[in-house]
Amino acid sequence: MTAKNFVFRETQSVMPPKMIAAIVLLLLVVTGLFAYIYISQEFFGRPVGEHSIDSHWALIIFSATALLTVYVSRLKIITRVDEEKLTMSLGVIGKRKFLLDTIQDAKVYEGNAAADFLGYGYRIAIKQTGYIGRAEKAVTIKIRDHKRELVITTEQPKDLLKALKPDE
């Protein structure tokens, strides 16, 4: 297996670090509460009250919030361009690949992508799909046989455009 030579690679946060820290802290508190419910019922033999949840549900919710905490704390938009394709991903999910041959046009996005898409992350608008991160600049890409244009925020729009159109 050979290593890919990336013409362009960028990783950008979806949320500000302080917001990520606040969300992780909130999720840790919720995780702790459900862990306490589970431990008190299973190991200390405390009875389940009439308005309480059973210990197996507490364990399931604890596990789900713990996994969500890990996912949110590592959430990043990854943009990669190699010799053949553009690859976009949002953390471990949402990976999409576009062949460079199918790109009809690419240009600098006019406006504020985060405001136009009403937030950060993977966004869908009427005529556009966006990978919107913390970068203030963006690139719009028109792809053959796709109804929506692709909008990608980036700190280096000129480098991304150059990687997408190497022959120009």
pTM to 2 decimal places? 0.74
Q: How many CB atoms lie within 10 A of CB 75?
A: 19
**26-30, 37-41, 50-54, 141-145: least confident range:** 50-54
Dump pLDDT digits (tens) for 15-33.
778 887 888 888 888 888 8
- Structure tokens, 91: 């953390």
Dump pLDDT digits (tens) for 66-113.
888 777 777 889 999 998 899 998 877 778 999 999 999 999 999 899
**CA-wise closest residue to 105 among 69, 141, 57, 80:** 141
Q: Report the sign of the C-alpha dihedral through residues 112, 105, 99, 148, in that order.
A: positive
pLDDT at 128 over 80: yes
pLDDT at 123 over 80: yes
